Structure 1
Amino acid sequence: MGHFSGAVALVLFLLFAPFARAQNDCTDAIVVCGNTGFQGLTVSGIGNQEIDFLNTCGSQENNSIWLKLPVATTGTLAFTLTPGTMDLEEDFDFFIFGPNVTCDDLGMAIRCSTTNPLMAGQFDNLTGMNSAETDTSEGPGELGNSFVQALDVVAGETYFIVVDRPIGNANFSIQWDGSATFEMQPNIAAPPNNLQTCVPSGNTGVFNLNENFNVIVGGQPNVHLTYHTNANDAITGSNQIFAPTIFNNTNNPQTIYARLTNTTSGCFSLTDFTLTVTNGAALSADSFSLCDDAADGDGTNAQTVFDLDVVTQTLLSGQNTAGLNVAYFGSALAAQSNTGALGTTFYNTIPNQQDIYVRISNTTGCVLVEPVHLRVWPRPAVVHTTLAHCDTGLVPDGLTQFDLSQAIGALTGGNSNLEVAFFEAGSTTPITASLYDNLSNPQTLQARIRNSATGCQSWGSVTLVGNIVPPPTISIAPECDVLGVENGLATFDLTTTNIVLTATQSVAFYATEQDALLAQNPIGNPSMHQNIVPYNDVVYVRIDDSGQCASISTLALKVNRLPDVERLASGGYVCNDNPDLTVTLDAGILSGTPSDYTYRWFRNGQDLGQTSYTITVNQAGDYTVEVTRLGCTVTRTVTVLESAPAYIESVIIDDLDTDYPMVTVNISTVSLGDYVFALDTPQGPFQSSPVFANVDPGIHDLYIKDLLACGVLGPIQVNVLGVPHYFTPNGDGFNDTWNIKGVDGNHYSKTIIRIFDRNGKLIKHISPLSAGWDGNYQGQPLPADDYWYIMELEDARTAKGHFSLKR
């Protein structure tokens, strides 16, 4: 059992370094066991912030490492942490949690120190716990002396220590000073063996690290062995080598660190061993291939004779073979035992592929035994084909241009591994251009068919034939320009041509003659083809018969312009009660002459049966005319609106109760027109307001004019009642009598009028249709004075007032 009473039993060397992995989370805490020293450990940064608000020392994790202390025997827990430098700016803090807490429920720290040695005026920067101190926490800054009271711990308890470095980047070590002890780490059964492997060249090889498994473990139970490439990873238990049986070294020699962990206590022990790579032979390839031939009388049996010396040159290509002994065997066992070597040649008895084994040894004792795959590849099938193109020249002679790539599919059968090269007869120089002008008609080219995967080849041929066939005349109906775009481009259904095909023929369309000749880049959707050249374009029609070109023709694509028409217009107004009022509509041609077009007129969608350029109408509606030229139609819409005389809903007369009579004309909402108004002036002027102010009492004529189509409505009689304020019965012919104004035989004729003097005496009873009162009573003139009247009107109104008699 390790302990730390008195002498230093455990020193923990912890090296802080940027970007290095550290045990800076509670769940990754390093288990402190026995007398283990952790040399080579590097730590920095934090993982999760776990101690913020869990301590009374006013700090949190900055650059931290977590240690887990399983107590084996009861005693005191004390330690001294010594930074790797005496510079007082190197500031180390620590926090202790426990006993027996979990990482997700640490509770408050039971010991902590965050004193800054420089601010506290100390002579060194050591920190820790000892029995001389009485405080359990101190800091931050200048508070405290960097040491707090030691802990009394009990066997079976577990504590966590967080060492944190808020300032500085020095390493540190820990010396355990108390009397308690920790669990012991497992034993390394025996020092591991250094491993060696042999490769032909270089410094990298494959090692089975588990050759040392039994050496290190030695049959111990409850242990786990891992391998690491550096001491830090071994200490922290991180980045273990997960494929130890096939490990590739990265340095030569390279040290491997082994960590043996007790799966119960978590304690571990470390050891290491060395990997060394030495040079020997290695294969540059593990297979050798030949193409089938007829040397054995059969060119398709996938069997042939292999020269094993040539095989060796391939297997050891690029290597120095001096000092190597190479032999071939029929089995791996024979090669391992070096018995029954094959001769210098070998005829495969298993078609297509047969494995033999090569044994290579050198003077250093390195021996390599590997299987060698001997393969016999088939040669490509010999194919002869024909490629026919149409000669569309002005003077066709059968000499034209061929796209040789079109023959590749027939020569290769669609096998993507086969490649073809073409040669003129007697030439060893391949034709490099895909487009080839034949020299005679017909002409046969040699075709080398080579398998790019195996290198095997055979010879076929392609015969070039130029067909001299007069092209048929092919046509298609013109299309019309697109309304609203009118750029000379339209969509053609090329499948609607007058082409007649036989059962063995097919047709394709192309944008250029070259494409049609070479049968490349066909128009992808011939039923929806848009011309490229505006208004007048051409495509090329290729007819193939049984896969060979039979003819190439041109197909003209014509786009006719649309009639140039003003498409929307106003046709004015008609009056709904005057059928004699008409308007003339026209088809709105903007260019050309009317005789260039045909017309068809409709009203509200109904065919009017009229086909002239202009029509005369007396009804409102949407009139459309279809204007057509060369089969292209544009529709023009002319809107004729309806108007009507004004429908008077009421005429409001404000007269007797005011000195300023007012006439208001209320037009019904069903009226369609745009109206202006006048009193007593049939020719105007007219006003836009239907209200007349300060109208003189009397009988007036109202006129309402429709500004749209229906003319003037009127006269409409308006009776404005009024009472004269005085009269002068002096016989001069002016104002000689007094009576109400605005009355006629049809309006207010039954009004009752009584006249009184100022004493209320009835003087006169007069009719509104009479000449009026002449100022006399019983034949005698009355004096000038004010007199009163009472009128009872037919509409149940009653009016009272007075007037003056002046003499």
Structure 2
Amino acid sequence: MNRLGVVICFLFFASGLLLNAQVSPDCANAIPICNDTPVNGGTTGYGVDDFNGATESGCLRQTTSGVIETNSAWYKFRTGASGQLGFNIGFDTSEDWDFALYKTSDCNNLGTPVRCNFFDNMEANTYMGVGENPNGDTDTILYEDWLQVEPGEDYLLLINNFSNTNSGFSIQFSGHIFVTNPNNALDCSIINNLLGPPVSACDTDTVILDATTATAISYEWYLDLGTGFSRIPGESAATLNVAVSALYRVLVVMPMGNNIVSEAQVAFSPSPVTYPLQDEISCSGNSQINLQLKDSEALGTQSSNDFRVSYHASQNDATNGVDPLEKENTVLTGSQTIYVRTTSIENPKCFDASESFNYTSVETPVLTFDEELFLCANETSGTIGELSPNSNYTYNWDTGETSSSIVASEAGIYTLTVTHTSNGVSCTNSRSVTVVKSELPEVTDIKIEDLQSSNTVEVFINLEGEYTYQIDEETVQQSRRFSNVLPGRHTVKVIDPKGCGEVTEEIVVIGFEKFFTPNGDSINDYWQIKEIAELQNPQVYIYDRFGKFLFQFGSTSKGWDGTYNGVPLPATDYWFKLDYINENGQTQTAKYINNHFSLKR
């Protein structure tokens, strides 16, 4: 739909006025309407059968009454310009109304309606018609597409009440044609009346009815507020200043007795007031705003059922009611003035476009620098903060420095606050950097559990921290414990994940009996280290508890028989040391071995 559609003529009369509303149940007496014609009615019956016994006309179908019409009202209008045209028929939510629009002036040859709606009002809407629902409901089934008209086209409009009882209806015309041709969108020459067509006005307007007639002797003015005409005391001039909504009548007394009686309906609609709106400031960097949230400010105590609010990029657009901004997710940039228009739904000619507010969008600085800096043992300092400063921002560190980045040499937390000031609005963002001096740990122990179905190795260090561990060239892991370790020589690494290096230890996984029984029964008579052949030139040295050297053997030996110089030694615990040749060709003593065993007799 064209969002430039502008409602032009509308009037909703109180129920008391419906007794004298302009209603014709028959097509032949269709009520003419034009630009300023207020149209309202309360139908009762259908008069003659304008469809001559037909069972359908477009979307309309024959009812239980045996005819298409139930409670009908007929109107006619003629276009005075080309463009987009529509209309809104307003009614009570509890009622069911239908309409059909015929492009003809011949009631005896209506043809197929060019627009037609026969849906019931299950959704309890207040409008149906052609074009766009003034309540903004785009999903309603009670609206047909806009008309594209040319000058001089005649139309007949049937409005039919299917409820048998009704509280009346109103018609408002709409469309872009009233923007381009506000004074002749509809041709008023089809109305022949001394006082002219009915008048739809705002309560702030001055309305003057003019009955001036040459040779007139006198004038008498009457008004009908819904209970019948009564004389207006003291009004005998050719013109009448009108202040209240009513049906007005003038009697023009002529010399020859050919007096003239003319009537005109005048309706005043309340004019809205746009209340002051607060300026909006966005520091999010998000240039979208939901203007619908500003409606309540603009309306104040006024009801959204009576008035609607629109927002415009210029004062001229707001005054003319054209090019409204989308209310939801409207994209605005920088600093911008938004002009507000509050419009009467009853009569869109009644509006107030006197208020505006400023919207300012300032981008909050986005900080992306690292929040951690690790200084290794060989590093004395490092650079933190934004390395690519923005000339529109100001920078302030909690150290007092005002550059975008600084050099930190001490461990601690450093906070940078960045401010962007534009159009008198300041938006800030802060980000902290934790500087840590990283140390390489020391391996305090490696626990080797051997002679198990699955050998395990567990590493212990002197520092707390998120270190990672690796054995040989296996996958680096978080756990300090390794499982399924094969016998032999291995390299264990403790790695600083911050890139500050690693600590390496070489271990030997071997198996040996925790005791032996050299009693000559050929069972467990020798103490030996298993898998010793996995090492290069291994040598085992055995000592007593006082460190006295007792025996030495290599990989080809049976082991120790529990004697010293051929003399059996007593049953007790003994210690050993294992040496081997490492990859550098140097003799190395195996570390972290639980190197004691028992001799039992």
State the TM-score, normalized to the length of structure 2. Answer: 0.33
Q: Which has the higher contact order (CA 8 A, sep 6+)?
A: 2
Greater C-alpha Rg: 1
State the TM-score, normalized to the length of structure 1. Answer: 0.26
